[in-house]
Amino acid sequence: MSILMIVAFFAITIIINRKNFGVKNFEDYATSSGSFGTFAVALAIFATWYTGAVYVIWADFTVVYGFIGTYVLVYTSIMLVFMYLASEKTYLWGRKYGIKTQAELMDLRYRSKWLRLIMGLTGIAFIAPWLLLEWVAQGYVFYYATGGAVEPVWGMILGAIVVLIYVTTGGMRSVITANLLQGSYMFFIGTALMFYLIYLFFDSFGGAMSTIQTVSPEALTYPGPGLEVPNTYWASIILSSGMGALLFPFVFNKILVADSIRSVKKSTLIAPILSIIFWAAFVFLGQALHTIDFARENPLDSYMWLAKEAGPLPLALMSTLVVAASVSTVAGIIQAIASCVSTDVAEVFNRKITDRQSLKVARISVVVISLITLYFATGNQEQLVYLGLLCYQGILVLFPAVMLGLFWKRANKQGALTSIIIGVPISMYLTITQPAWMVESGWTGGMYAMVVCSAIMIIFGFLKPADAHVEKLWKDIEDAKARSKAKKEIPETSIKQSYTG
């Protein structure tokens, strides 16, 4: 039943996207030409963000350590706050100047093609590892759902084929259309399934909490059983993940797919509601699983194992849930990387590249990226959750350049370039070597690197006046607001005239 439901889900994904196949314009491929409304964008953010790896790799965190798994809920909300703040300038400049990627936006802001190239490559470097996590999750689900009949590598390949079909041919429009299905399934079916499992095996939510309190009360508090980290570590992983998450190209580009600034802002208010309900179900179930010996000893198997114990239908629903979450993230990442390669790398080296050539580069990139990451996904799969955390620490160094660039006129390209060139090595060195003083402090390497990057940006900002072109960009925002206000006032004026005329 599980494999049939997964195949049916894949078939529906392809069918609903058939009208989007054959995109011939690169802007449409990269941003869907800004054609989606509030709920589409909200579901796209939700579906892209909660990955399939959550049920396999991140289960290790939640089932083994309990409460600390709630950090995802907190930092996701922080990320959406930053998205709300960044949305206005990003959207308005994006529509006026045809911006397709985050790095291209920073090229517009700082007038530096080298910054665009470095930011593009940095973004690619720190989101590509996420594909490894998702390929592993897909392969694992196929293996588990078929009782070992389908080897993980074939599960990965099947998922890759489906993603390649609609991302290569339909681009962002296909990605968002698929996200509507995937996000709806994840929220409605997925959340209901997890609460059902809680009530089936633990009688009720209260029963689950009582069991945890009796068997392992430390799973309800920070940091959790067997995990010895300072209290500052909690703040660090939340802040670094919350600030870094927005900067992943596959997240940031969701701002550019909306049909209006209003849709973007409303979607960032709806997405947290979906996230809170969904992740609460995930964490509560994970904490309840902590009370079961098999789940604690086999955390990667725990969610799938419990669904299997509940019967064929729950297992089929859980398998499809993991695949839906994984495919939605994979599609978003691959499409974002392809757009970065074409826009932030190819266009920098060849300013005369045609729209048709850009589209060709993007489609070739989709295939190449998928094959490379699939190859590495078949290798050593231990400690993959820490690979994900490493990505956050690396991408975090872009935060000062992006956010100060959007809100501080004096931020300049010299500071942005220097901060990234210095910040990435610092972050990677500290994160990989884990010096004793840093471990004792509880703050992650990315946070220290971000402080250095922020200081560099501020110092360079006060060394010279704001660049002349920056005033024009700020005026673009003021003019756009004025036009929007005028449009809102026209109906009121017309009504008044109709009564007095």
φ/ψ of 181, rounded to 5, equals -70, -50
| Alpha-carbon gap, residue 39 to 263, rounded angstroms | 8
Scored b (16 or more CB within 10 A) or e, 73-85 reads bbbbbbbbebbbb
Q: Check: CB of residue 183 under 8 Å from CB of residue 44.
A: yes
| Dihedral sign computed on CA atoms, order 300, 303, 306, 307 | negative
Per-residue pLDDT tens for 174-209? 778 888 888 899 999 999 999 999 999 998 888 888
Task: Give, for all 501 residues of the chain, the pLDDT tens digit.
Answer: 788 888 888 788 878 777 766 666 666 666 766 678 888 889 888 888 787 778 877 787 789 888 888 888 888 889 999 999 999 999 999 989 989 899 999 999 999 999 999 999 999 888 888 887 788 888 888 887 777 888 888 888 887 787 777 677 667 777 788 888 888 999 999 999 999 999 999 988 888 889 989 988 888 888 888 888 888 998 998 998 899 888 988 888 888 888 888 898 899 889 888 988 998 899 999 999 999 999 988 888 899 899 999 999 999 999 988 888 888 888 888 888 888 888 888 888 887 777 778 778 877 887 888 788 787 777 655 556 567 678 888 999 999 999 999 999 999 999 999 999 999 999 999 998 989 999 999 999 999 999 999 999 999 999 999 988 999 999 999 988 888 777 765 554 443 343 344
Least Cα distance to 348 among 168, 44, 115, 183 occurs for 115
| Dihedral sign computed on CA atoms, order 37, 38, 43, 46 | positive
| Dihedral sign computed on CA atoms, order 298, 301, 302, 307 | negative
SS (H, E, C) 312-377: HHHHHHHHHHHHHHHHHHHHHHHHHHHHHHHHHHHHHHCCCCCHHHHHHHHHHHHHHHHHHHHHHH
| Alpha-carbon gap, residue 96 to 478, rounded angstroms | 13
pTM of the model: 0.86
Per-residue pLDDT tens for 120-130? 999 988 888 88
Catalogue all structural domains in the chain, each as residue range(s) with its CATH number.
29-396 (1.20.1730.10)
